[in-house]
Structure 1
């Protein structure tokens, strides 16, 4: 089995800075030293075949830990620090990790406490490592009965939500991550002198691939540990970045601060790649970067990696990455075959099989068409998922939380256009007492990740129905007409 260390730690100058975060600068030697610390911690646990949950916000500590787990044959289960009590416990109940590393508190939320509650409710043994700083760890054992080992040859299980809020665990091999990293390395024409700013969620498979690029190529990856705009811009200025990869909404949020706090950032940019949500050529007008900066749109999926790219200085006509095969079915859905690709959804073979045709094509759920220049244009998507700032929000999951509030009679959640985030989350609710609407936001914020919490609560007297189903199109039209 190949490991992350074998695949990615290949820089010749082991003292050169290849990763910069809010906390410090790090070299290959630093990474190997910290990884060795975790290897010493875990060797005695014999973790081969065990699932290891990792809820560690500092990027350097997180990367060192997953490198160690991967090297010892454990299954890495990255856990997002955007989770809150309900969605975190739901993920843990679904995956049943053998060991969990967790920050004690982060962003005002007691993560280790929520994990302890889950472990106490479970009938099996869980080893919990918790820390206030992700350097000094305390070990606790909760439960007695041993969990069975994972017999499948999985290296990573990266989680997202299903169509009704049910967790989905995407299974990957280390080789899949290397291929995804190769897609990231190709377009920007990378050089060892680059300072590359990236904002991909580090707990996603794309984020793991992005973090590896600096160690593989010997360039400096600048990776913020959290989404705090002024700190991000200061980090960009201090490192004098010349390339970046982010989402359109994050770029829109960063740009005014860049112009005000550090206009030289805009002048120095040579490459800006945008992905994670709908990307159109209008972004070139909305965000007027310097003329010599290549502005590239990137399209892909968490399951299959990079698929398409386009020059956003021109019309958004998409070309296919090298090594990707595609076809368009009679309904206009985009089908692909790639060199990378996940192994399937953990414990959900039926769901996995729904995404593949009998002859091996992956169903993306997106609609495209071929234009007169023989390039692809993306029309829309079939999946009922809200894409807010590069994050996916499942309406059914948010609706379920709202309906648990005693004042909510009915609830429908939709995505509506937003100038910054691409889409925003709008909740339509029928309440027993409309004067208590202000209770809904904190109620949701305590139970689900902040990006899933509705941005707007619309109180309505009825929910329109068409052919026995909620008429979401009418609801959205009513909302947009009121907003003018």
Structure 2
């Protein structure tokens, strides 16, 4: 691929490809395909439409739908006029959507038709939203009419690389999600570092299947925009749509390990189809070693790349590269690889805040140009997460071996990662504690072969309730992936002498035979 100067703005490379290869495929979604020139024209038109709606530098546009190219168009168009796009998790329950949309301060909300009824129910509670625009998968909608009527505008001179381009909401340590603010500069630094080692060729095509509200989806989408490689976007992560993408020529992808497990379970034809992938990037949750062994055997010609990271660093901060997967060093295959170019790592004693000796456990801290500008509207939370000299405190416990390989072994934060989604226990505990029969509750993560971890609640009651009733209560108030899969009802929860619930004691029986803690 040609070497080009590092861009300063997210829409810069799309403009370049529109000029240098205007008729080449840029993106395919369902039965629609756009060339680079067509797509860039749509971005400029959307920038004009947003400007006419009063959106300008420092404002926020929200996008709520399953995967759709309109989300990427909105991100690029809004960023080009100095505004940010809050990409909202479509799995959130109504009261969660209410909180996130109001916290974002979005002026305009672009919403998928299937989620419009939910928005209508809370519309009068969305104090900052001035305009709602509906979008559909087939394109016969208000969004397309908006673009058709718009006058294209270029990027204003006052827009800066340090302007926030994307806001992604992650689970919150205080029971409410926090918006991670990522700038043009953050996202570009991530793209140039995180895909170091991806040897792309002319004719390659990216399979974009991870949800765009997830940093693994939106940041992966940037690879095609940056390199000029065509992208094939699926609406959902399911076998039929993934197969359709591969049959359409997609040969590079990034997915969670659970998808790989399902492919291996689907039989010889599915395994053969996926052998067309040159690169299989995976992350967001650990890949069990037995599954990784099966995958390496099933696809001997595929480059496997493991990514470890966090939304706060734009996605990937360390990589386990293809050669590491096939080195025969199984201990190293259990690591998260080494930091990406341009990033630094330290291992810190969380009590003394001093560096620990090499090889010993501590909290992983990273410093990089990828690091978020901060948490949206939360300066105190930002100050807690980022030191004055720019180190990000991950809350993950790990160690680094003599060759710089990072091993993530536990969590300082009270967090569960299930199927690549972060769930803070306190979010679930807050909802369950509101049930009239619950006296006290603790939520923990337990091993799950398919999803990495599953959410479990342990409750003591002061009235009567069944585990099914408590799970149903949570499902009415939380996104499905946050709800407990199982509930244990006990007489009382274990506590230390100061009264703190001993979650370590609750977790220990479930993890003692798994060989890992996360």
Q: C-alpha displacement at 1:168, in angstroms? A: 1.0
Picking from 123, 129, 134, the partner of 2:133 is 129
Q: C-alpha displacement at 1:392, in angstroms? A: 0.2
1:279-315: CA deviation from partner (whole Å, max 9, x where unpaired): 4544422433322222221112211243211223342
Instruction: Say if 1:413 and 1:262 are closer, same or farther in 2 by CA, change over 3 A.
Output: same
Q: C-alpha displacement at 1:220, in angstroms? A: 2.7
Picking from 52, 56, 70, the partner of 1:44 is 52
Picking from 342, 367, 370, the partner of 1:337 is 367
Identify the residue that residue 352 of structure 2 maps to in structure 1.
Answer: none
Paired with 1:376 and 1:154, the residues of 2 have a C-alpha distance of: 30
> For structure 1, which segment, 458-467 or 74-83, has the greater mean C-alpha deviation from structure 2 after superposition?
458-467
Q: C-alpha displacement at 1:415, in angstroms? A: 0.5
Paired with 1:269 and 1:43, the residues of 2 have a C-alpha distance of: 41
Instruction: Say if 1:22 and 1:466 are closer, same or farther in 2 by CA, change over 3 A.
Output: farther
Counterpart check, 1:263 vs 2:293: no
**SS in structure 2 opposite 1:303?**
helix
1:276-295 superposed matches below 5 A? 276-279=284-287, 281-287=289-295, 288-295=297-304
Picking from 64, 79, 86, the partner of 1:77 is 86
Q: C-alpha displacement at 1:482, in angstroms? A: 12
Counterpart check, 1:424 vs 2:443: no
Identify the residue that residue 325 of structure 2 maps to in structure 1.
Answer: 312
1:326-475 superposed matches below 5 A? 326-328=345-347, 329-330=355-356, 332-431=362-461, 434=464, 436-467=466-497, 468-475=499-506
* Count of residues in correspondence between the two structures: 466
Which ranges of 4 or more aligned residues in structure 1 deviate by more than 6 Å?
Answer: 480-483
**SS in structure 2 opposite 1:429?**
strand
Q: C-alpha displacement at 1:261, in angstroms? A: 4.4
Instruction: Say if 1:27 and 1:185 are closer, same or farther in 2 by CA, change over 3 A.
Output: farther
**Unmatched segments (≥5 aa) in structure 1:** 140-150
Q: C-alpha displacement at 1:480, in angstroms? A: 6.3
1:104-139: CA deviation from partner (whole Å, max 9, x where unpaired): 424xx83322440422xx4x6633223555652289
Give the TM-score normalised by the residue count of structure 2: 0.81
Picking from 199, 212, 222, the partner of 2:209 is 199
Instruction: Say if 1:476 and 1:368 are closer, same or farther in 2 by CA, change over 3 A.
Output: closer
Paired with 1:335 and 1:436, the residues of 2 have a C-alpha distance of: 42
Q: C-alpha displacement at 1:102, in angstroms? A: 1.6
Instruction: Say if 1:254 and 1:165 are closer, same or farther in 2 by CA, change over 3 A.
Output: farther
**Unmatched segments (≥5 aa) in structure 2:** 1-6, 146-159, 348-354
Q: 8 Å contact 2:425–2:444 — kept in the other structure? A: yes
Instruction: Say if 1:447 and 1:291 are closer, same or farther in 2 by CA, change over 3 A.
Output: same
> For structure 1, which segment, 388-397 or 454-463, has the greater mean C-alpha deviation from structure 2 after superposition?
454-463
Picking from 155, 161, 171, the partner of 1:161 is 171
**SS in structure 1 opposite 2:273?**
helix
